[in-house]
Each structure stands twice: as C-alpha cells, then as structure tokens.
C-alpha cells in the first residue's frame, strides 16, 4: 500500500518568507508526527496529532511554527518569517494507536515519509 | 532530561565482521525502544522494536537488540554484516503512553566489501 508522502520534496525560500509543508499519512493511521532533522543529527520531535488535535506540541521551537490537521488526515506544517536556522529536512510519520499495558492506550511504530528538504537563503 | 546517547558516530567494518552499536537512554517510567535505519537515498524505516516481554528482540535482516533495564541500554547487534548494511542507524525511545519519539544522534555504518 501507499506509504507516507510529503510535498514538496525540496523547498528553497528566502529569509523572512512563509512556507507550508504538507504530509499525507498512511490511510487509516490516526496519529501523525512531525520531526526536524539537521545535518549529522537524529530527528528532533516537533509535534504530534491524535486525530485532529495536537496531543503534544512541546517540540515546536517558537511561535513561528504551527501545524494543523483539520480533518484528521492530511497535515500542514507552517513556518512564518523563515530564518536560515530553519534549514533542515522536515520529516512526517504516522502510526496507529494500540491497546497498551494494563488496558491503557499506546502507539504502534511510526512509519516515516521521505521528508521535505527546506533551504532558507 | 529525556535523551538518547549513541556511543559510536562512525563505524567501519569489513564484510562478515560482527556488529554492536551502543545505545543508552535517559527516561523515567516505562519505555518503548526502537532502532531505525536509513539506507542511502531512502527514508527512515523500522529495524526492530521493544514494547514489553522478552528483552531480546529480533528484527529484519538478521539484526537483534537487547534491552537491559538496569543499564538503560538497548544495543544493536548483528553477527555478520554485509555490504548492503551500509547505512545510518538511529536508536529512539518514548514513554509507553506517548507518541513522542526521542532519537539519538545516529551512527553511520560503512561496510567494506
């Protein structure tokens, strides 16, 4: 089946501009995640959604970053007034929820998309 | 603070050599642990995972990892590497009731034919 898709694959913009990055999760996956990966580093968590709501947005670096998932499927990561330090690969992942220990809720493994490489000049 | 530390940044091995990549984490409470791999030009994919039960877990392509709770470790092993194992390997941890993954900085493995 189709995996996680992200568009565009590459985005070059100028400092101060606004950008939107799109993620299409695997069909039926209720959880969606955004990460950012800088060169030579591991992915860094930004935000994740369970359904339409943000379950944890503690990784968003500042108020220039915002993400939405209005219908519980596709998500858009929005970055205002871009800075050169925002240059990175932005990764999206999706997963199912599962029944965890003692009946609590947990999450299955995350499936990652190919990423969007953002370059801010 | 929640963190993952991968001891080796760059490992070079010859084919058929044995592999062990170290991973230690700092995280309170019950954890789930993962190893992801990124082959050249491809996206991240799951190698193996630990949720509960047997601390020795087996993944794809002959990889395995052992969760040692007392040492906060989840080292990755393979008895005999192949040239096709050349890739970047990431260890990751999360709490058992959250989706937020915390990754290590990655280890680049280069296998010489």
Q: What is the mean pLDDT of chain A?
A: 92
What is the pLDDT confidence band of residue B53, given thresholds at 50, 70 and 90? very high
- Helix H, strand E, coil C: the string for chain B is CCEEEECCCEEEEECCCCEEECEEEECCCCEEEEEEEECCCCCCEEEEEECCCCCEEECHHHCEEEEEHHHCEEEEEECCCCHHHCEEEEEEEEECCCCCCEECCCEEEEEEC
What is the pLDDT confidence band of residue B1, given thresholds at 50, 70 and 90? confident
Q: A42 and B45: CB-CB below 8 Å?
A: no
Tell me whether A99 touches chain B (CB under 8 Å).
Answer: no
What is the pLDDT confidence band of residue A2, given thresholds at 50, 70 and 90? confident
Window from A12-21, A93-102, A105-114, B68-77 with minimum mean pLDDT: A93-102
Q: A95 and B104: CB-CB below 8 Å?
A: no
How far is B44 from B97, CA to CA, in rounded Å? 22
- DSSP class of A86: G
Q: Which residues contact B44 (CB under 8 A, 6 or more apart)?
A: A43, A91, A93, A112, B36, B37, B38, B90
Q: What is the mean pLDDT of chain B?
A: 95
> Which tops the pLDDT comparison, A75 or B41?
A75
Given a contact cutoff of 8 angstroms between Cβ atoms, the answer to whether A9 and A117 are in contact is yes
Given a contact cutoff of 8 angstroms between Cβ atoms, the answer to whether A31 and A93 are in contact is no
pLDDT confidence of residue A113:
97
Chain A residues with CB-CB distance to B90 below 8 A: 42-43
pLDDT confidence of residue A18:
98
> How many residue pairs from chains A and B have C-beta atoms closer than 8 A?
68
Residue A1 has pLDDT above 80, yes or no: no
pLDDT confidence of residue A102:
58
How far is B4 from B57, CA to CA, in rounded Å? 19
Give the tens place of pLDDT for each residue, A5-27. Answer: 999 999 999 999 999 999 999 99
Distance from CA of B96 to the nearest CA of A (A): 6
Give the tens place of pLDDT for each residue, B68-84. Answer: 999 999 999 999 999 99
Residue A99 has pLDDT above 70, yes or no: no
Report, in angstroms and rounded to the nearest whole number, the Rg of chain B calculated over CA atoms. 13
């Amino acid at each position: 089946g189709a995996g996680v898709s992200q568009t565009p694959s590459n985005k070059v913009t100028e400092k101060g501009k606004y950008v939107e990055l799109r993620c299409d999760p695997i069909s039926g996956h209720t959880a969606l995640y955004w990460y950012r990966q800088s060169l030579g580093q591991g992915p860094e968590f930004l935000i994740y959604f369970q359904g339409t709501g943000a379950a944890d947005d503690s990784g968003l670096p500042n108020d220039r970053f915002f993400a939405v998932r209005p219908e519980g499927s596709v998500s858009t990561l929005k970055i205002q007034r871009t800075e050169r330090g925002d240059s990175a690969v932005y990764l999206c992942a999706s997963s199912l929820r599962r029944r965890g220990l003692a009946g609590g809720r947990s999450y299955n493994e995350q499936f990652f998309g190919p990423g969007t490489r953002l370059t801010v000049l | 603070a929640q963190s993952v530390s991968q001891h080796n940044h760059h490992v070079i091995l010859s084919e058929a050599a044995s592999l062990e990549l170290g991973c230690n984490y700092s995280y309170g409470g019950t954890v789930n642990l993962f190893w992801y791999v990124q082959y050249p030009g491809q996206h991240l994919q799951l190698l193996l995972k630990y949720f509960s039960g047997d601390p020795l877990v087996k993944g794809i392509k002959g990889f395995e990892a052992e969760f040692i709770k007392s040492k906060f470790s989840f080292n990755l092993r393979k008895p005999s590497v192949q040239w096709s194992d050349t890739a970047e390997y990431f260890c990751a941890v999360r709490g058992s009731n959250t989706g937020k993954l915390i990754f290590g900085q990655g280890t680049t493995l280069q296998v010489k034919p």
